[in-house]
A and B are shown apart, each in its own frame.
Chain A
């Protein structure tokens, strides 16, 4: 029976990685917040891979941390192995990745959300978002209703339903209508969303089997160790603080036998039989997909990764599948080292409902429903980090709205988070969207090492970063600038000492006076190596030296990107009034009219990124906006 429960400012639906960051942001900004989950045991669950970070995802975690989010801190406490990927490449693509103790991660995040002021948790399935009608077809959120009939009045809702909406797990010919790990699916909300006029997609993803570690022959596998010096995700931690004994991952390969088993049973794969209708992510194909699409590859890598310190379960990375159980057993056992392996949990595919993200504003608020914010896999993305990144942004923007403050929209030149959200709401997606460094056109500026310098100010202004923490960032900034200035100012003459030093480092001798900065720029030298020539040098924190080095070594490239960003900002700065009627602009091409009407970009910059809007359309739009401005 319907009855009114307590009123809240914000209701967060779902307690995964998006939900937790969203709820924490709202509660910490002083809003009375409730977070619903179908199971209290699934708070911050990692139902798929046991790692956080990786290429471009590591960037997202750093950015979440710089804005005052929690993910980085939690993984720093609960990692069991850590690696900086691409260390031999440029600083823009260095990516931090950690193996997590999944249970620990989930527990630790649960402890944090449970002990945050203003935040209440509730185990319940939300079945309805309650709205009232506003003028011209718009609606406004007034509450949520749960399965028991309880109504929670609220001013904003943040939907983070992950893969739970009408979830179906498929393993060969068998399927169950559950969420991951047999958790209950959320079966009722979809109907309500449809009635609210929201366009839904059906996406699919999958996960490999978990195998009992005792049944693996590790002597046949190559050991993969973590880095000796661990670098934390959170800017609030130091390497020393989080050092610990690390576990290893293991590498093996599929072989022709594996592939043959797959090929012989391909007709029983629901992916190929047509049983699965949802769109899967291309970056995370199942092993049957890999074998069929890349037929000439003789073998595929398989990483065996521990799921935690207190379990024998091992995650078989690279072999996600939805083949039937009997095929899975043979398939996994054909891999060297897994001959006698015992599967603890089967691999499966999962289908779920999510929205077309083109319906969202860059604040992640639904365009036609005031107070409905959306984030995570519900928006068509994939990955824990992508979810958490949207979670904190949806949380911040819901809070900004209720507090009557300016929204926080990160643009593509400020953060990977900006790229992620702009891609989703401007270009949309036809598969679970994953972050990649190649999506960030200004990636030389958006490095994981400078996320604090880029975003702490915003985190502080919003209210999620303390004054004390922000001041430290400002100090760091000042020290970097001072050191850069000093290095550029300090000029060395061609003294005997200098020339001898250079010769011994296979660097050409000086002809005229040269600054220390110039020397650091030389490929064969760096900040550390020129220490003997730098007599005034004071000891500096490693993180400052890192920034100084990057700034000098890549100065030309960075400057070039800065110039591009200037141009970009000009276009982003040209705002488009919300009321604009594109049908009225006759000189726009038809396709442009339709796309612009659907997406309703907030700026000329955003408009120019919509596929189907040409530079000529943008010119016409500029003229129209000018006309609009002069009229009003």
Chain B
């Protein structure tokens, strides 16, 4: 734990000339040495002197990822007072990430939020007076990461992981119950089922690992919410976006709430339209609108499309939402305002909107007509701009959450492979449990659930135990 070698991207996310990947811990040199070669193809880091620089390439197997400089700072003369290796690579998200992942694949673990600073303090690098600040930083960073990963853990992924965990837990509980009470329970017929289960679990995890590479951005899209009062045209916008060639890709019944989500491809980007049940199902229900829904969207969405009916006066809802958008804090995701029904006589002017959200507001306002299909191009461009500028929440945090998830999936996979190995060499059932519970714990890191008394509880719930 403490002595693990950790790695992370040390430079700020986004486009820049160079980026730095920092590796800290006993194995820093050893790990980087396995993926770094000089121009002549030699591994040379094991003999590298402290506080020197080497020029060469980072390899992923036989392919060069990037041309880099490697800096080495031997313990204790480094930020963490551990052996630190920094890899200076060409800026650009993709290359940087690829290098980080390669480092991790070779034995480093992804640094926990605030971990470099924590180590620096624990190892005496940071002054005592900074202790409070260090603790605050650890707290804040972890809270942010936790929230972020919870937010991302929605729908199908959460369901899949929970299903896998449940399956693993049940089998482990069976094994443990039978071991605990051998006179009441036998393993007869268990092993065939069990082997099948482990294989299923493995294939599902492998699939999750391969899709994790795509990142949520591609897999799930930007979580988008359409806000606006009844009859403003949300439903028509949804149909417009979802219809024609931009076909609905999937229709998923949400699991966390009773919602419908629709996935839409828009000019190469994927939008995941959230909470569309409230929009579609407007006939005999009072539609969910207003601030409450907006607030929830602000918490969960990557992007808000706020529709205003240009042909009627603002109502209370419009005003409340506009007021909320006026907040300067960063708690609200990017918003695009669609001033709809421009084909009718306009009562609401752009200036009126600016009056509410503030004259200097950078929120794009697009004149729109769902009926005439005016403004779609502009909407696409606006989303694209936000996306590329990094205004959309995606990016680093989501990427890191993905990476953490992948790390956890890989741990679970390795544990399950060990179970297969144990079966293969004829070990008895009690040997499986250790690795099964490791896999269970690893998957729990993804859902944020710990083990606690899960196993014992399942044993007693599922099996009739005892004297």
Contact = CB atoms under 8 A, between A and B. Distances in A.
B is a partner of A: yes
Interface of A: 49, 55-56, 85-86, 88-90, 92-93, 281-285, 290, 293-294, 297, 300-301, 303, 317-318, 320, 427, 436-439, 441, 443-444, 523, 557, 561, 567, 570-571, 585-589, 611, 614-616, 619-620, 622-624, 626-627, 630-631
A615 to B, nearest CB: 7
8 contacts: A89-B428, A285-B466, A290-B464, A438-B172, A438-B456, A439-B456, A587-B139, A589-B139
B212 to A, nearest CB: 22
Contacts of B115: 619
The binding surface of chain B is classed by DSSP as helix
B445 to A, nearest CB: 10
Given A285-B464, A297-B464, A626-B131, A55 B180 contact: yes
Contact of B456 (A303, A436, A441, A619): A436
B383 interface: no
B249 interface: no
Nearest to B137: A587
Interface string B413-445: 000000000000111111101100100000000
Nearest to A282: B460
Interface in B102-132: 112-115, 118, 121-122, 128, 131-132
Contacts of A441: 434, 437
Nearest to B184: A301
A438 B118 contact: no
Interface string B169-188: 00010001001111110000
A624 B138 CA distance: 12
Nearest to B448: A614
Interface of B: 1-3, 112-115, 118, 121-122, 128, 131-132, 134-136, 138-139, 142-143, 146, 172, 176, 179-184, 425-431, 433-434, 437, 450, 452-453, 455-456, 459-460, 464-467
Q: Give me the 6 closest cross-chain CB pairs, A-B, nearest first.
A: A616-B142, A587-B135, A587-B139, A627-B131, A282-B460, A438-B176
A586 B176 contact: no
A557 B431 contact: yes
Of A293, A561, A626, most buried by chain B (CB within 10 Å of CB) is A626
A86 B177 CA distance: 12
A558 to B, nearest CB: 11
Nearest to A300: B464
Contacts of B428: 88-90
Given A438-B455, A626-B121, A626-B122, A86 B1 contact: no
Given A55-B182, A438-B455, A570-B2, A622 B430 contact: no
Nearest to A444: B434
Contacts of A571: 1
B1 A570 contact: yes
A293 B2 contact: no
Contacts of A281: 466
B467 A320 contact: yes
B112 A615 contact: yes
A318 B467 contact: yes
Of A320, A441, A620, most buried by chain B (CB within 10 Å of CB) is A620
Given A85-B183, A443-B430, 11 more contacts: A285-B464, A301-B184, A438-B172, A444-B434, A561-B434, A586-B132, A586-B136, A616-B113, A616-B146, A620-B139, A631-B128
Given A89-B179, A89-B430, A619 B464 contact: no
Of A85, A301, A557, A623, most buried by chain B (CB within 10 Å of CB) is A623
